[in-house]
Structure 1
Amino acid sequence: MKKSLLVLFSFFACTTVAAQTTRNGFELISRPAQKQIDILYNGQLLTAYCYTDSIAKPFLYPVNTLGGITVTRGFPVKPIPGESTDHPHHVGIWMNYESVNGIDFWNNSSAIAAAKKEHYGTIVHQKILNQSASGRKATLGVTATWVNQAQETFLNEHTTYFFEIKDNRFYITRKTTLTALRNPVVFKDVKDGFFAIRLAKELEMPSATSKSFTDDKGNITTVPAPGTGVPTGMYYASNGKTGDAVWSSQGTWAMLKGKKDGASVTIAMFDHPSNTGYPTYWHARGYGLFALNPLGRAVFSNGRDSLNLVLQPGRSQTFTYRIVIAQQDLTIPEAAAMDAAFKQSRY
């Protein structure tokens, strides 16, 4: 009898401990040995802030829905059989640019030969400023520097990530302030930039043909045809354009809808009225690059528009963007409503 009571007591004691350790809401876990901070919700990984040495900038990776579906491509961090291996600099969610005082931050990766590295820049993580997590909201503040191969610093970066769960969707808002240091910093109008996510193969647009793309240095990257079986993606933009027509068009929001792991998935991206170049141009490619670029206006407008943003020494520019990850088939009215709410937000 006593033994039975002891077993019963032990069962309830373990149950109580398990209940006490169940994690509700957001939690940020630092893993300095891996150079990352995991962002969890109800104990499940939604994304991680990564600042590994092998990638030429900090980035969020992987990116998951609340239901656990990974929407980002695995390559080059954790390649998945059958996925594309083009553009090794496309990793998770990131922000950088192709021409900063003539230095290319966008295309830098381990694939660049050492002899050519002088033309490429790196965004170097400096420190974690602050982090907080409570219920359905979390924030992470970090700093970084934009440097060339000779370790000359062009820009200081201060970024705050705002994470939120709302309407069963994962909201990621990034507010980044770039400050020029001793010399003027010129962001020449070019194609490749600025805020981006590289999506999983299932969320690419179906295509039966391969395509080639050229950067500002004349380097050509060929993307093989993804086929018409696995890819299910389709772009929709606030300006009414869809598919490939979204590329180079202007709009306040765009979204990519598709299916992965048997579920509907929508990735929506929003510009904010406080940003330079609002409304942005969309650098949205069918092969899985979903980006906005407010700084490449001469390219996207075929010369009708231009910006060539210059930051004088000591001057700053702030950019605020939002990505919504939904394991849902969002409608255009829903995206428009989220856009209206974002316009009214203060960051």
Structure 2
Amino acid sequence: MRILTLPLLLLSAATAAAQLPSAKPIPRGQAVPLPHHITSFQLDGREITAMHFDPQDMRPFWHPMRASRDVSLTRMGHPHDPLTHSHHNSVWVTHNTVNGIDFWGDYAKKQGRIVNVEVSREGYEDTDEFASMRMVNHWLNEEDKAVQLIEVRRTEVRPLDGAKSWLMIIDLEFTPPKGQTTTFGATGFGLVAARMAKSIGVHDGGGRILNSEGQVNEKDVFRKPARWCDYSGRITNDADGFGGITLMNHPMNPHNPTAFHVRDDGWMGCCLSLDTPVEVTEEKKLRVRYALWTHDGVTTQEQSEAQWKAFTAMPVVNLNPPKPVKK
């Protein structure tokens, strides 16, 4: 039997462009919605992090956190206690005591859950400079589903040197339900935290903690005030297989410079209210801003300080821009 075949028509780039003169360039940075409540943040088509916001989870979180290599600088859960530390969700936002309710752990007597209720209609931005996502979350009492806080969150991923060096900027605004006051209690647990990869931890991998004051590792860094804290270590066995994350506090946040709760076992957190509670009312909303600088290599104090200065010099975004007027 004779099979007839048609010649393949391979169009040159110039011919294809001529056929579609209206085709726009693809932005380098994209926030791509995926199934199962995931948004993938991509640079040139490669995922460097992703927002997970399944309502069945206890809280939204970002995972993985990749630099130039296809290995995450963070992990899910404590390497030696995955059950009772199941709340260590890579990079996450939460707090140990909000109106006496525990949003930090997963098995509290008074348990809280952070549930996504909206991804804004204009919530995604894709550009060559950054990709972003805006969402609204409710902080709920698990027992009666009563709302304790309304949170607006914007995630912006901004490459600085490709995937070798990039910022994830986290903007948050908290408002209580109408007519109520919500209190973030005094605790070292919350508001932004990262569970580093096992190989980066000081205890397991021989990594290094460094803060803005030049202090090194848990003994000197634990709960000390600082502008930023970096956790760096080995991620592959290549000669240059190192990377890390610098967690940055913004001067607009309460109690700046804030305490950093950091352990040699591989986790670090930026404290909102270590010794002093923070009250939130309708008239006095809580507006905070953080960043995580994900980088190849082991950073120096000067390098992390320079990134912190650049971050704090950026304009603060408006989380509630006016809606466009319909014509």
Provide the TM-score with structure 1 as the length reference: 0.79
Q: Kindly tell me: are residues 83 and 187 of structure 1, through their superposed partners in 2, closer, same or farther at Cα, counting changes over 3 Å?
A: closer
TM-superposed deviation, 1:312: 2.7
- Which of 271, 280, 284 is the matching residue for 2:262? 284
**1:248 aligns to 2:245 (yes or no):** no
Deviations 1:121-179 (A, max 9, x none): 11110111111111131111110111102111111101111110013412100010001
**1:274 aligns to 2:265 (yes or no):** no
Equivalent residue, structure 2, for 1:308:
277
Partner Cα separation in structure 2 for residue 342 and residue 256 of structure 1: 18
Partner Cα separation in structure 2 for residue 187 and residue 24 of structure 1: 39
**1:201 aligns to 2:186 (yes or no):** no
Equivalent residue, structure 2, for 1:210:
none
Q: Is the 8 A contact 1:279 1:294 kept in 2?
A: no
Equivalent residue, structure 1, for 2:212:
238
Q: Secondary structure at the match of 1:202?
A: coil
Equivalent residue, structure 2, for 1:27:
30
**1:90 aligns to 2:84 (yes or no):** no
TM-superposed deviation, 1:280: 0.9
CA RMSD of aligned residues (A): 2.6
Written as runs of structure 1 = structure 2, the 5 A alignment for 1:53-64 is 53-64=55-66
The residue type paired with residue 205 of structure 1 is: V
TM-superposed deviation, 1:346: 2.0
Q: Which moved more, 1:83-92 or 1:156-165?
A: 83-92
TM-superposed deviation, 1:269: 1.1
Partner Cα separation in structure 2 for residue 270 and residue 24 of structure 1: 27
Deviations 1:291-345 (A, max 9, x none): 110311x2xxxxxxxx211123453111100001111222211111112222222
TM-superposed deviation, 1:83: 6.9
Q: Kindly tell me: are residues 316 and 280 of structure 1, through their superposed partners in 2, closer, same or farther at Cα, counting changes over 3 Å?
A: same
Q: Secondary structure at the match of 1:37?
A: strand
Q: Secondary structure at the match of 1:34?
A: coil
Written as runs of structure 1 = structure 2, the 5 A alignment for 1:126-205 is 126-129=117-120, 130-149=123-142, 150-168=144-162, 169-181=165-177, 182-205=179-202
Written as runs of structure 1 = structure 2, the 5 A alignment for 1:34-73 is 34-73=36-75
TM-superposed deviation, 1:278: 0.7
The residue type paired with residue 248 of structure 1 is: R
**Higher helix content, 1 or 2:** 1
**1:123 aligns to 2:103 (yes or no):** no
The percentage of counterpart residues that share the same residue type is 20
Partner Cα separation in structure 1 for residue 93 and residue 247 of structure 2: 13
Q: Is the 8 A contact 1:180 1:314 kept in 2?
A: no
Partner Cα separation in structure 2 for residue 314 and residue 151 of structure 1: 24
Partner Cα separation in structure 1 for residue 42 and residue 161 of structure 2: 17
TM-superposed deviation, 1:232: 2.9
Partner Cα separation in structure 1 for residue 155 and residue 27 of structure 2: 20
Q: Secondary structure at the match of 1:339?
A: helix
Deviations 1:57-91 (A, max 9, x none): 11111111133231111449xxxxx7752510010
Partner Cα separation in structure 2 for residue 323 and residue 106 of structure 1: 20
The residue type paired with residue 180 of structure 1 is: P
- Which of 215, 229, 235 is the matching residue for 1:260? 235
Q: Secondary structure at the match of 2:289?
A: strand
Partner Cα separation in structure 1 for residue 76 and residue 288 of structure 2: 27
Counting matched residue pairs gives 296
Equivalent residue, structure 1, for 2:20:
none
Partner Cα separation in structure 2 for residue 266 and residue 239 of structure 1: 18
